[in-house]
Amino acid sequence: METKKIFACFLHSIGAQANKFGVLAALATFGLTTACGQANYENADVKGFAELMNDPNVVVLDVRTAEEFGEGHLVGAINIDQAQSSFIEKAKAALTTERTVAVYCRSGRRSASAAGRLAAEGYKAVNLTGGILAWKEAQLPVTTDTYEVDVFKTKSGKTVKFHALVHASIRIEYDGRSATKGDTCSEGLKKEIEIDPVTKLGNKTINYGAMPKADYIFLTHEHGDHFDKEAIKLLTNEKTQLVMNKRCAELLRVLSGESVPEGRAGGDTSGMMYVGTCAVLSNDQSATLGDITVEAVPAYNYSEGRTQFHPKGRDNGYILTIDGLRIYIAGDTEDIPEMQNIKDIDIAFLPCNQPYTMTIEQFVKSAKTVKPKVLFPYHYGQTDVKEISSQLKDSGIDVRIRHYE
């Protein structure tokens, strides 16, 4: 491969003379262009591509049309149509050059072109030879689930997957099994976590009935884009533990029509007040739920004219620690001074939609305060968040734009 790239660069340098002998045409048959930078990508067969997908430092990019994507795509892929004039602009907003981009299309031709264009912008790109057709022929799985998925590893190598559902709704899959301990069949170690689930927002509907029941549901506050009794009903069973602020617990008791005695739990759950299957946490309280630790942190508005949206002391943000992986879910908040106390965050979800949460300027300030390794803007509605990536370009923060409108 390296020899071919050098040869391509040589031909590019001699230009017209090479073309006289038809060498450029011959070079095209190898899938290489005469532009040095654009040839700087790799090809992978189905087996190699599948191995790449298991690496958390790889993002899978489908460059077909949205219609093709909706008909079936690789699990966890994000979709940016390479035929759009804004392809590179969207790619720069959604992808970081620090991660390998595994690119595919229907047959491998469009993705080869896209891989070359990405490589010219400084990305390390790998093209799937034969595209999704070869993938299907190898009888590997595809999905029609359009939710983007990001995969991370905990300190001991366990898998945590984040599904971008909508706005402030996040589905988290935690596979607590350890291959080194022979836990391959221990289904009880898998946990389903839902953050602020809502069944419908705008023109988008989330089918929670098709998802597994939740082990844990975290609610930040009672606004309709965060608190939805129908979603909670679909996701809960007798084993589900709900964690929420006091106001959500009060509303849930009214909605359920039940009067459940309140009491305090002891042991590792110090600070939690149970209302049936609900655990109420106030700001600065923490608890342990199995191998997951949760800390409730402040989330509020302080700017003049905004304090009525999210009064101080009412709502929660959460810090989840899963096998050493620290996740900050900010909830609806501005860049409050309490963020200075939030340390060692691996993954952060910060909101950005004025006047209810943060402006772009506040968002960037809060990101530089918290300093997460990976940052997801969420709850951003119609706010154009693409400029966040450029403003945080030299911060060392991996900004990932997903569909959290």
DSSP secondary structure string for all residues of 76-99:
T-EE--TTSTTHHHHHHHH--TTS
- The whole-number average pLDDT for the span 96-121 is 95
Q: How far apart are CA 269 and CA 261, in angstroms?
A: 17
Residue 30: predicted pLDDT: 34
- The whole-number average pLDDT for the span 194-212 is 92
Residue 31: predicted pLDDT: 35
Q: Which of 8, 85, 71 is nearest to 39 (CA)?
A: 8
Query: Could you tell me which residues are beta bridge partners of residue 1?
Result: none
- The whole-number average pLDDT for the span 98-106 is 95
- The whole-number average pLDDT for the span 73-88 is 94
255: confidence class by pLDDT, cuts 50, 70, 90 = low
**pLDDT of 291 higher than 90:** no
> Residue 73 carries which DSSP code?
B
**pLDDT of 14 higher than 70:** no
- The whole-number average pLDDT for the span 93-97 is 86
Say which residues have a Cβ less than 8 Å from residue 285's Cβ, sequence separation at least 6: 271, 272, 295, 296
Residue 148: predicted pLDDT: 86
Say which residues have a Cβ less than 8 Å from residue 386's Cβ, sequence separation at least 6: 89, 90, 93, 401
Tokens 């997908």 correspond to 53
37: confidence class by pLDDT, cuts 50, 70, 90 = very low
- The whole-number average pLDDT for the span 272-291 is 79
**pLDDT of 213 higher than 70:** yes
- The whole-number average pLDDT for the span 350-365 is 95
Tokens 């190598």 correspond to 157
Q: How far apart are CA 172 and CA 152, in angstroms?
A: 11
Q: Which of 286, 290, 282 is nearest to 249 (CA)?
A: 282
- The whole-number average pLDDT for the span 84-112 is 93
Q: What residue ranges define each of the domains in the chain, with the CATH number in brackets?
A: 1-40 (no CATH), 41-146 (3.40.250.10), 148-399 (3.60.15.10)
Q: Which residue type occupies 75?
A: V
Say which residues have a Cβ less than 8 Å from residue 206's Cβ, sequence separation at least 6: 165, 166, 169, 197, 198, 199, 200, 231
218: confidence class by pLDDT, cuts 50, 70, 90 = very high
> Residue 267 carries which DSSP code?
G
Q: Which of 35-44, 111-120, 308-317 has the lowest mean pLDDT?
A: 35-44
> Residue 143 carries which DSSP code?
B
- The whole-number average pLDDT for the span 12-18 is 40
Residue 187: predicted pLDDT: 56
Percent pLDDT > 70 in the chain is 82
- Spell out a b/e string for 253-271, using b for 16 or more CB atoms within 10 Å of the CB, else e: beebeeeeeeeeeeeebeb
268: confidence class by pLDDT, cuts 50, 70, 90 = very low
391: confidence class by pLDDT, cuts 50, 70, 90 = very high
- The whole-number average pLDDT for the span 124-135 is 97
Residue 188: predicted pLDDT: 63
Q: Which of 233-237, 250-254, 279-283, 396-400 has the lowest mean pLDDT?
A: 250-254
Q: Which two tokens stand for residue 305?
A: 């004219």
- The whole-number average pLDDT for the span 251-262 is 52
pTM of the model: 0.76
**Maximum CA extent, the chain:** 88
3: exposed, middle or buried (C-beta count within 10 Å: 0-12, 13-18, 19+)?
exposed
Q: How far apart are CA 174 and CA 241, in angstroms?
A: 15
Give the up-direction half-sphere exposure of residue 260: CA atoms within 13 A in the CB hemisphere: 20
The backbone torsions φ and ψ at residue 28, rounded to the nearest 5 degrees and listed phi first, read -60, -30
Yes or no: say if 260 and 252 are a contact pair by the CB < 8 Å rule. no
99: exposed, middle or buried (C-beta count within 10 Å: 0-12, 13-18, 19+)?
middle
- The whole-number average pLDDT for the span 213-241 is 93
Residue 177: predicted pLDDT: 76
Q: Which two tokens stand for residue 62?
A: 């489908």
Percent pLDDT > 90 in the chain is 65
Residue 18: predicted pLDDT: 39
